[in-house]
């Protein structure tokens, strides 16, 4: 085990643990950032819109798997904090078997249902062919996304946030080289960008799997039939945590996918602007998101170790740090919106740039809302209330979808309704998370008395 999160200065411990995770997510964002930069510059706005829309679809599908791995990681952290190695072994065996089977089934389903999925997204005819070609190739990386994320969350639960960063660094560098070679060099077009991403995912997934197995013997588990049978005692809890976190992640991304469909109805210019702005957006609040994931592992280990006061200190510290991250991001995005959009699209595309700046000015001003929401997700997952994360996600995304679909069709309001619905959803979910925490504290106090 690499790092004990139950000792040392609270803020320093969380920041040191979160640092590699933030940088790792930064590299992961580079997968699609590089695709979009190269595709947008080399192949034009239509290809940029196709890749951006495909990114929303792929994010939704992989969020199911990432959510499951995240939920299992919370269980791993709790058992590690409790020093229960036997239970940890059972949890690892049960979760890998369960999530692995779900991955294979999902991969088959998405290939079979590809055309109906694209039809639901209301892809414009002028980019439908490019979108279909890109998606066909990008889907081949789903299993390796599972492999990478499973072992990444396992290592993080054990206090090691560095190894996953190393493998992402290698695969991101490879992705850049392959993008340039396949799109610019061999002229494979949008297919080349997809193949470059999949090869990079294969490298990171298989690489981290081999490393964990060879270098971390305490994290080895067995998939022998007898061990799987023994692990049935924890399967119910594994499924509960995995399913709750998966539902939370997939609901969040399904809501985004629904918004993507609505955005697509406004035409290719708005699609391209949204594709670029969303990438800038996710890049901007990514430090707060990964800090919240580190915070969740910190809380889970300390919760398992029974250190209630340290948990309370961790919550107060995390709110301060996350708010600082988000305020800095809001300032940078608001004043740098035009320059950031110009990195994705040619300066002659005035309408695309205008819409993208409008989006970033509205949403970018309220990053504190999503920063706090990420902390609520992590906290409730860590303290054995993963279902509450689902509730908060439904409130946030439900508000966003409801307001968007109700107001955007009104000509006098239009697409701006979609942009404003986002921070409103964050605010309502944050308030709900706070009210529920007060209820939990009051209930716990009554039980002690």
pLDDT tens for residues 259-290?
Answer: 877 887 888 788 888 878 887 887 888 888 88
Residue, of 61 and 420, whose pLDDT is higher: 420
pLDDT of residue 32: 60
Q: Is 2 within the bounds of a domain?
A: no
Q: Tokens 């991969």 map to which residue?
A: 107
Q: What is the full DSSP assignment across 339-353?
A: HHHHHHS-TT-HHHH
Helix (H, G, I), strand (E, B) or coil at 3: coil
Q: What is the full DSSP assignment across 265-280?
A: TT-HHHHHHHHHHHHH
Mean model confidence pLDDT for the chain: 84
Cβ atoms of 39 and 119 within 8 Å: the answer is no
Q: Is 261 within the bounds of a domain?
A: yes
pLDDT of residue 210: 93
Question: From CA 74, how far away is CA 302, in angstroms rounded?
Answer: 12
Q: Give the domain extent around 134.
A: 10-448
Question: From CA 341, how far away is CA 280, in angstroms rounded?
Answer: 8
**Least confident segment among 23-37, 141-155, 306-320:** 23-37
DSSP label at residue 7: S
Q: Is 212 within the bounds of a domain?
A: yes
pLDDT of residue 34: 66
Cα dist from 404 to 121, 221, 277, whole Å: 16, 46, 17
Q: Is 168 within the bounds of a domain?
A: yes
Question: From CA 58, how far away is CA 23, in angstroms rounded?
Answer: 22
Q: Is 1 within the bounds of a domain?
A: no
C-beta atoms surrounding 216 within 10 Å: 17
Whether pLDDT at 1 is above 50: no
Question: From CA 152, how far away is CA 30, in angstroms rounded?
Answer: 18
Q: Which range, 215-224, 305-314, 424-433, has the best average confidence (pLDDT)? A: 424-433
Count structural domains, the chain. 1
Per-residue pLDDT tens digits for 87-132? 888 888 888 988 999 999 988 988 888 888 877 777 777 777 788 8
Cα dist from 431 to 310, 369, 385, whole Å: 24, 10, 17
Q: What is the full DSSP assignment across 281-328?
A: HHHHHHHHHHHHHHHHHHHHHHHHTT-HHHHHHHHHHHHHHHHHHHHH
Question: From CA 277, how far away is CA 292, in angstroms rounded?
Answer: 23
Q: Is 398 within the bounds of a domain?
A: yes
Percent of the chain exceeding pLDDT 70 equals 94
Per-residue pLDDT tens digits for 42-53? 777 777 777 777
Percent of the chain exceeding pLDDT 90 equals 21
Q: Tokens 């933030």 map to which residue?
A: 22
Q: Is 5 within the bounds of a domain?
A: no
Q: Tokens 């594709």 map to which residue?
A: 275
Q: What is the full DSSP assignment across 405-448?
A: HHHTTSTTTTTHHHHHHHHHHHHHHHHHHHHHHHHHHHHHHHHH
Whether pLDDT at 321 is above 90: yes
Whether pLDDT at 250 is above 60: yes
pLDDT band for position 241 (cuts 50, 70, 90): confident
Cβ atoms of 266 and 331 within 8 Å: the answer is no
Question: From CA 20, how far away is CA 71, in angstroms rounded?
Answer: 20
pLDDT of residue 29: 67
| Residues near 42 by beta carbon (within 8 Å), at least 6 away in sequence | 183, 184
Percent helix, percent strand, percent coil in the chain, to nearest 5: 90, 0, 10
Question: From CA 376, how far away is CA 292, in angstroms rounded?
Answer: 8
C-beta atoms surrounding 308 within 10 Å: 11
Buried-exposed string 382-417: b where 16+ CB fall within 10 A, e elsewhere: bbbbbbbbbbbbbbbbebbbebbbebbeeeeeebeb
Mean pLDDT of 132-141: 86
Torsion of CA 72, 298, 365, 44, to 10 degrees: -50
pLDDT of residue 33: 65
pLDDT band for position 23 (cuts 50, 70, 90): confident
Q: Is 219 within the bounds of a domain?
A: yes
Question: From CA 254, how far away is CA 248, in angstroms rounded?
Answer: 10
Cβ atoms of 426 and 369 within 8 Å: the answer is yes
| Residues near 64 by beta carbon (within 8 Å), at least 6 away in sequence | 102, 106, 246, 249, 250
pTM for the full predicted model: 0.79
């Amino acid at each position: 085990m690499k790092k004990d999160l139950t000792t040392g200065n609270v803020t320093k411990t969380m920041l040191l643990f979160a640092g590699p995770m933030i940088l790792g997510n930064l590299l992961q964002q580079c997968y699609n950032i590089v695709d979009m930069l190269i595709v947008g510059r080399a192949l034009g706005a239509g290809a940029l819109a196709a890749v951006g829309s495909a990114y929303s679809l792929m994010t939704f599908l992989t969020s199911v798997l990432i959510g499951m791995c995240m939920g299992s990681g919370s269980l791993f952290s709790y058992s590690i904090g409790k020093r229960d190695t036997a239970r940890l072994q059972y949890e690892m065996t049960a979760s890998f078997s369960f999530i692995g089977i779900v991955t294979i089934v999902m991969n088959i389903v998405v290939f079979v249902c590809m055309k109906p999925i694209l039809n639901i997204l209301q892809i414009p005819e002028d980019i439908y062919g490019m979108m279909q070609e890109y998606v066909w190739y990008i889907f081949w990386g789903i299993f390796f996304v599972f492999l990478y994320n499973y072992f990444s969350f396992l290592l993080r639960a054990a206090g090691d946030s560095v190894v996953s960063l190393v493998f992402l660094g290698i695969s991101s560098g490879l992705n850049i080289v392959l993008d340039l070679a396949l799109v610019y060099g061999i002229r494979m077009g949008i297919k080349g960008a997809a193949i470059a991403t999949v090869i990079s995912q294969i490298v990171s997934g298989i690489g981290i799997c081999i490393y964990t197995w060879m270098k971390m013997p305490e994290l080895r588990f067995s998939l022998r039939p007898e061990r799987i049978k023994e692990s049935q005692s924890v399967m119910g809890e594994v499924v509960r945590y995995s399913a709750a976190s998966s539902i939370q992640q997939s609901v969040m991304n399904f809501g985004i996918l629904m918004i993507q469909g609505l955005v697509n109805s406004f035409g290719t210019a708005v699609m391209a602007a949204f594709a670029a702005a969303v990438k800038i957006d996710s890049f901007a609040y990514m430090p707060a998101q990964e800090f919240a994931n580190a915070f969740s592992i910190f809380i889970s280990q300390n919760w398992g170790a029974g250190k209630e006061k340290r948990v309370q200190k961790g919550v107060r510290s995390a709110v301060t740090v996350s708010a600082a991250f988000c305020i800095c991001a809001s300032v940078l995005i608001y004043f740098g919106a035009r320059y950031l959009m110009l990195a994705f699209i040619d300066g002659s595309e005035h309408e695309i740039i205008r819409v993208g700046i409008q989006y970033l000015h509205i949403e970018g001003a309220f990053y504190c809302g999503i920063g706090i929401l990420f902390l609520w997700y992590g906290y409730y997952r860590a303290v054995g209330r993963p279902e509450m994360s689902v509730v908060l996600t439904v409130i946030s995304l439900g508000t966003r979808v409801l307001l968007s679909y109700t107001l955007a069709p009104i000509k006098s309001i239009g697409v701006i309704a979609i942009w404003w619905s986002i921070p409103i959803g964050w605010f309502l979910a944050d308030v709900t998370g706070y009210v529920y925490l007060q209820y939990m504290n009051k209930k716990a106090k009554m039980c002690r008395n």
